[in-house]
C-alpha cells in the first residue's frame, strides 16, 4: 500500500512540475492570446412617418426601419449597403429586396409593412459589411398589429396596377395617377376592398379613397415632393396580404458644362462651371455636383450648387495639348464634354505608323432607352489607337456619328455632335452615346468613329473609320386578358361576352396606343347530355387532350366527354393524312366520321361557331389607360358546349408581349329552362362516333 502511495505521489509531482515548466531548466510556454479586433456596429430602430420611434407596424400607418452603421471607432459609414430581414416573415419591405444605402450620416432607411393580416411579435435584423468586415448584426423587436380583412377585401385574389404615365417631371405640380383594379378568383371585379399604398424615394402619395369603388378600381396621385433629383419611384400596393409593385421615373434634371476659357491653355488657370436645372429649366440649388474625367485636378471634386444652380471649380489645365473628357454628375443625371487643351494649331498632326490598329468600343453595348427629355441612360464610346507594339498614338483626330437608320437610331445622339476630339496620351478619345426613347433591334444601332492624322476638311470627310454596334433594349410588354361576370344577349339568338385587354410595360405602366392583334381558337367541343357535367380541360398545356379518351361514351363516363377540335392543322379542310400535334403519327382529321348531305367529310366544331371581334371595329389600339375592349359572340345553342382560347399580342418599338386564356361558352341564367343549348349540338356518343 505504501509502495502504491509513493508511486501516486511521484506521478502527481511530475505532472505538477511539467505544468509549471519545471524539471527541464526552461520556463513554461504561455499559450498565445488571439485578439479579435472590434467590429463595426449597427443600431436599428423603427420610426413612424413623422420620424418618431415606434415598436408597432400596422397596415394603417406608415413605418420605416432605420439602421445606422458605424466603425469600431464610432465613425459613421456612408454609401454602404444594409440588408434588412425579418426571419419570422411577419413583415416585408419596400422595395421588396430589403436593401438600402446609408446616407452621409451612415443611416439606411427602408419602409416596413405587414406581410399579411396576421399579427404577432417579430425581430428586425440588419446586416452590413464595412471594408470586408461583417458588422455586428443589429436587431430590434417589434409588434405587427393584426387586422381582420372585411368580406370584400378577403375576396380579392389578384389585382393589376396601372400608371397613366411612365415619367413624372421634377418641376411644377404634375402628378402620376395610380389605378388599382382588384378581382376575385373568377376575375370578377371586387368593390369595397381596402387598399394600402406606399411610395419611396421622397415622393408623396395622395389616395382618392380608402377602398375600391363599384368598378373594383382604386386611384391615387403620386407627386415628386421637394426632391428634384431624377430617380426611380417604387409604389408598393397591398390588398388582402397580396403585394404588387410598379415604378415610374422622375425626370427633368439636366446639367450643362461650360469651360473658361473655351480652349484651355496648357498649364493655365481654368474654370469649369456646371449648371443644374429642373424640367422647367429652373435652377436646382443646394445640390452636390461631382466632377470627374481625364483632368487630374477635377477627379472626384465635389461642389454644392448655389441658389442659381451653379457649381464652379478652378483648376490648372493639363500641360500636354490634346482632347480631355470632363464629366459632371448631380441630381441623378450626368453629362460630359470633350475639352480641348491648346488650339488645333498647337496640336501637332498624329504620327500613324504602319501596322497601327484602331478600335471602337461601347461600354455598355446594351442600354435602356431614355424617357423623353432624359439623358440618364448613356453608353461611353471609347476610341483606342495603338501602334504595332501596343504603344498609344496621341493627337489622332476623331469624329463620332450614328451611321445606321431606323428604330433606335434616328432619335439617339452623340454627346460631341460633329465636334472633332483628339486622342490623349493614352491613345484614347471618348464621347457618350445617348439613346432616345425608342428601342432598337439587337445590334441595330451602328456608331462610326472617323479618324485621321490631320484636321478634317469638313464634317462629311471620313477617310478611315471603325464601327461598333449597340442595342437599345426597350422593356418587354406585359399583356393581360380579363373579363367580368356579365353576359349580354345579342340579336338573333346569340350571346356576347366582353373581354378587356390591358397592356403594360415591365414596370406596370400603361402603354398607350399599343396595337393589339387578337385571335381565337376552339380547342374542344363537348358531347353528352346537357344535364351531365362538363369535363373541359382548361390548362393551356391540355389543348390536345381528350377527356377521358376518343372512344368512351358519355354514358359510361357519367359526364360529358371532351373532344379535341378535329381540324388539327387549323386549315379548314378535312385532311385525310395529317401529323397530329401530340404525336408523329399521321391521322385522318375526320375522327367522328361525320359527313354532310353530299357525303363529304365534315369537321367538328366549325370555325364559325364562335366569332371574335374588337368591341369597336374602328379601335384596335389601347387607350390612355392601356386598355382595349374585345368581344366574342356565339349562337345560344353552343353555350356550355365549346372550350376556346383567346390570344392577344402586341408589339411596340421592337418589344412584344402576349397573353392567352381559356374559356367555356356560357349562357344567361334566365334562359336555363328553355335554352336551345339544352339540345346537344354535337351528339351524345363518343368522340369517334358521329352520333
For residue 345, what pLDDT band results from cuts at 50, 70 and 90?
A: low
Q: Which residue has the higher pLDDT, 578 or 264?
A: 264
- Tell whether 261 is covered by a domain: no
For residue 15, what pLDDT band results from cuts at 50, 70 and 90?
A: very low
Domain identity same for 185 and 167:
yes
Predicted pLDDT of residue 4:
40
Predicted pLDDT of residue 14:
44
Over the stretch 455-480, which tens digit does the pLDDT of each residue have?
Answer: 999 989 999 999 999 988 776 678 89
Cell 502527481 sits at which residue? 12
- Tell whether 158 is covered by a domain: yes
Burial 93-113 (b: 16+ CB within 10 A, else e): bbbeebebebeeebbbbbbbb
Gap between the Cα atoms of 435 and 474, Å rounded? 11
Identify the CATH number of the domain in which residue 78 sits. Answer: 2.60.40.10
Q: What are the two backbone dihedrals, phi and then psi, of residue 206, each rounded to the nearest 5 degrees?
A: -115, 110
Gap between the Cα atoms of 248 and 242, Å rounded? 21
**Within 13 A of 378's CA, how many CA atoms are on the CB side?**
21
Domain identity same for 382 and 469:
yes
Gap between the Cα atoms of 522 and 606, Å rounded? 9
Tell me the pLDDT of the chain averaged across its residues: 86
- Tell whether 200 is covered by a domain: yes
Predicted pLDDT of residue 141:
94
Domains: count for the chain: 4
Residue 46 near residue 30, CB atoms below 8 Å? no
Is residue 21 scored above 60 in pLDDT?
A: no
What mean pLDDT comes out for the span 653-664?
77
- Tell whether 238 is covered by a domain: yes
Which of these three, 207, 223, 251, is where a domain ends? 251
Cβ partners under 8 Å of residue 24, min gap 6? none
Return the percentage of the chain with pLDDT > 90, whole number: 44
Instruction: Tell which residue, 27, 238, 240, has the closest CA to residue 117.
Output: 240
- Tell whether 295 is covered by a domain: no
Is residue 533 scored above 90 in pLDDT?
A: no
Predicted pLDDT of residue 510:
81
Domain identity same for 231 and 133:
no
* 494-504/488-489 β-pairing: antiparallel
Domain identity same for 456 and 483:
no
What mean pLDDT comes out for the span 494-502?
94
Residues composing the chain: 691
Predicted pLDDT of residue 197:
92
Gap between the Cα atoms of 43 and 102, Å rounded? 12
Q: Which three cell numbers stand for residue 50?
A: 413623422
Over the stretch 295-343, which tens digit does the pLDDT of each residue have?
Answer: 999 999 999 999 989 999 999 999 988 888 899 999 988 888 888 888 7
What mean pLDDT comes out for the span 134-153?
84
Instruction: Tell which residue, 227, 246, 243, has the closest CA to residue 235.
Output: 246
- Tell whether 198 is covered by a domain: yes
Domain identity same for 132 and 158:
no
Residue 340 near residue 355, CB atoms below 8 Å? no
Residue 300 near residue 326, CB atoms below 8 Å? no
Domain identity same for 95 and 163:
no
Is residue 506 scored above 70 in pLDDT?
A: no
Q: Which three cell numbers stand for residue 350?
A: 498624329
Helices (H), 129-218: 151-155
Identify the CATH number of the domain in which residue 642 sits. Answer: 2.60.40
**Within 13 A of 570's CA, how many CA atoms are on the CB side?**
8
Over the stretch 347-398, which tens digit does the pLDDT of each residue have?
Answer: 889 999 999 999 999 988 888 888 777 777 888 899 999 999 999 999 999 9
Domain identity same for 93 and 131:
yes
- Tell whether 360 is covered by a domain: yes
Domain identity same for 172 and 217:
yes
Question: Is the entire prediction scored with pTM above 0.75?
Answer: no
Gap between the Cα atoms of 562 and 687, Å rounded? 8
Predicted pLDDT of residue 475:
65
Residue 425 near residue 322, CB atoms below 8 Å? yes
Predicted pLDDT of residue 32:
53
Is residue 490 scored above 60 in pLDDT?
A: yes
What mean pLDDT comes out for the span 219-239?
91
Burial 356-382 (b: 16+ CB within 10 A, else e): bebebebeeeebebbbeebbbbbbbbb
Domain identity same for 127 and 215:
no
Which of these three, 251, 272, 288, is where a domain ends? 251
- Tell whether 21 is covered by a domain: no
Domain identity same for 550 and 422:
no
What are the beta bridge partners of residue 322?
Answer: 341
For residue 25, what pLDDT band results from cuts at 50, 70 and 90?
A: very low
User: What secondary structure does DSSP assign to 518-587, as a single string?
Assistant: EEEEEEEEEES-TTSPP----SGGGTT--BS-SS--HHHHTS-EEEE-S-TT-SSS--SSEE-TTSS-EE
What mean pLDDT comes out for the span 544-569?
91
Which of these three, 474, 497, 525, is where a domain ends? 474
Domain identity same for 501 and 411:
no
Residue 535 near residue 665, CB atoms below 8 Å? no
What residue numbers bound the domain in which 415 lies?
348-474
Predicted pLDDT of residue 308:
87
Instruction: Tell which residue, 562, 479, 485, 566, has the closest CA to residue 527.
Output: 562
Predicted pLDDT of residue 430:
87
Kind and range of the H or E element at 17? helix 2-19
Gap between the Cα atoms of 378 and 233, Å rounded? 20
Predicted pLDDT of residue 6:
46
Cell 366582353 sits at which residue? 498
Q: Which SS3 state, helix, strand or coil, does residue 180 take?
A: strand
Predicted pLDDT of residue 12:
42
Is residue 27 scored above 90 in pLDDT?
A: no
Q: What are the two backbone dihedrals, phi and then psi, of residue 406, each rounded to the nearest 5 degrees?
A: 105, -165
Predicted pLDDT of residue 306:
93
Lowest mean pLDDT among 71-80, 189-198, 410-419, 655-664: 655-664
Predicted pLDDT of residue 5:
44
Domain identity same for 111 and 211:
no
Beta strands in 135-208 (DSSP E): 138-144, 158-163, 167-169, 175-183, 196-199, 204-207
Radius of gyration of the chain (CA): 36
Kind and range of the H or E element at 12? helix 2-19
Instruction: Tell which residue, 499, 384, 377, has the closest CA to residue 440.
Output: 377
Amino acid at each position: 500500500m505504501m509502495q502504491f502511495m509513493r508511486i501516486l505521489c511521484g506521478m502527481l509531482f511530475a505532472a505538477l512540475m511539467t505544468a509549471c515548466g519545471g524539471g527541464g531548466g526552461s520556463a513554461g510556454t504561455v499559450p498565445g492570446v488571439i485578439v479579435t479586433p472590434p467590429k463595426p456596429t449597427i443600431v436599428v430602430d423603427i420610426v413612424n412617418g413623422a420620424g418618431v420611434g415606434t415598436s408597432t407596424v400596422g397596415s394603417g400607418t406608415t413605418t420605416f426601419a432605420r439602421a445606422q452603421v458605424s466603425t469600431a471607432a464610432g465613425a459613421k459609414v456612408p454609401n454602404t449597403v444594409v440588408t434588412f430581414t425579418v426571419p419570422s416573415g411577419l413583415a416585408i419591405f419596400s422595395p421588396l429586396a430589403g436593401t438600402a444605402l446609408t446616407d452621409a450620416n451612415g443611416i439606411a432607411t427602408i419602409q416596413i409593412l405587414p406581410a399579411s393580416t396576421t399579427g404577432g411579435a417579430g425581430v428586425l435584423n440588419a446586416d452590413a459589411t464595412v471594408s470586408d468586415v461583417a458588422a455586428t448584426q443589429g436587431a430590434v423587436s417589434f409588434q405587427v398589429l393584426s387586422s381582420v380583412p372585411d368580406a370584400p377585401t378577403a375576396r380579392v385574389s389578384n389585382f393589376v396596377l396601372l400608371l397613366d404615365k411612365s415619367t413624372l417631371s421634377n418641376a411644377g405640380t404634375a402628378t402620376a395617377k395610380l389605378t388599382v383594379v382588384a378581382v376575385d378568383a373568377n376575375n370578377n371585379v371586387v368593390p369595397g376592398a381596402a387598399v394600402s399604398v406606399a411610395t419611396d424615394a421622397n415622393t408623396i402619395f395622395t389616395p382618392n379613397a380608402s377602398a375600391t369603388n363599384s368598378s373594383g378600381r382604386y386611384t391615387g396621385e403620386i407627386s415628386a415632393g421637394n426632391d428634384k433629383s431624377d430617380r426611380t419611384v417604387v409604389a408598393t400596393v397591398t390588398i388582402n396580404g397580396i403585394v404588387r409593385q410598379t415604378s415610374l421615373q422622375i425626370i427633368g434634371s439636366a446639367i450643362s458644362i461650360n469651360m473658361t476659357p473655351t480652349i484651355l491653355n496648357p498649364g493655365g488657370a481654368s474654370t469649369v462651371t456646371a449648371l443644374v436645372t429642373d424640367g422647367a429649366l429652373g435652377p436646382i440649388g443646394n445640390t452636390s455636383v461631382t466632377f470627374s474625367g481625364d483632368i487630374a485636378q477635377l477627379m472626384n471634386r465635389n461642389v454644392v450648387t448655389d441658389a442659381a444652380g451653379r457649381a464652379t471649380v478652378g483648376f490648372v489645365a493639363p500641360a500636354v495639348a490634346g482632347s480631355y473628357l470632363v464629366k459632371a454628375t448631380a441630381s441623378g443625371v450626368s453629362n460630359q464634354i470633350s475639352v480641348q487643351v491648346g488650339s488645333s494649331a498647337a496640336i501637332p498632326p498624329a504620327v500613324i505608323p504602319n501596322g497601327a490598329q484602331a478600335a471602337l468600343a461601347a461600354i455598355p453595348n446594351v442600354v435602356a432607352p431614355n424617357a423623353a427629355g432624359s439623358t440618364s441612360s448613356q453608353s461611353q464610346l471609347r476610341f483606342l489607337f495603338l501602334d504595332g507594339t501596343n504603344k498609344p498614338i496621341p493627337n489622332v483626330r476623331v469624329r463620332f456619328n450614328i451611321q445606321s437608320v431606323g428604330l433606335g437610331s434616328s432619335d439617339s445622339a452623340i454627346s460631341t455632335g460633329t465636334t472633332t476630339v483628339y486622342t490623349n496620351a493614352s491613345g484614347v478619345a471618348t464621347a457618350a452615346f445617348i439613346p432616345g426613347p425608342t428601342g432598337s433591334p439587337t445590334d441595330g444601332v451602328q456608331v462610326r468613329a472617323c479618324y485621321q492624322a490631320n484636321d478634317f476638311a469638313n464634317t462629311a470627310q471620313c477617310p478611315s473609320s471603325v464601327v461598333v454596334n449597340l442595342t437599345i433594349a426597350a422593356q418587354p410588354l406585359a399583356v393581360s386578358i380579363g373579363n367580368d361576370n356579365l353576359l349580354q344577349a345579342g340579336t338573333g339568338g346569340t350571346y356576347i361576352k366582353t373581354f378587356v385587354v390591358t397592356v403594360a410595360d415591365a414596370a406596370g405602366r400603361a402603354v398607350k396606343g399599343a396595337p393589339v392583334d387578337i385571335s381565337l381558337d376552339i380547342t374542344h367541343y363537348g358531347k353528352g347530355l346537357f344535364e351531365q357535367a362538363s369535363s373541359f380541360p382548361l390548362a393551356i398545356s391540355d389543348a390536345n387532350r381528350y377527356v377521358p379518351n376518343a372512344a368512351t361514351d358519355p354514358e359510361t363516363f357519367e359526364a360529358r366527354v371532351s373532344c379535341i377540335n378535329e381540324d388539327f392543322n387549323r386549315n379548314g379542310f378535312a385532311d385525310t393524312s395529317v401529323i397530329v400535334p401530340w404525336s408523329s403519327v399521321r391521322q385522318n382529321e375526320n375522327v367522328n366520321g361525320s359527313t354532310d348531305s353530299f357525303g363529304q367529310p365534315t369537321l367538328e366544331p366549325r370555325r364559325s361557331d364562335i366569332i371574335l371581334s374588337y368591341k369597336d371595329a374602328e379601335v384596335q389600339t389601347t387607350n390612355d389607360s392601356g386598355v382595349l375592349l374585345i368581344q366574342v359572340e356565339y349562337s345560344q345553342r353552343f353555350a356550355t358546349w365549346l372550350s376556346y382560347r383567346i390570344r392577344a399580342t402586341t408589339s411596340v418599338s421592337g418589344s412584344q408581349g402576349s397573353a392567352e386564356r381559356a374559356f367555356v361558352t356560357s349562357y344567361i341564367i334566365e334562359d336555363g329552362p328553355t335554352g336551345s343549348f339544352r339540345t346537344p349540338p354535337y351528339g351524345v356518343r363518343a368522340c369517334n362516333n358521329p352520333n
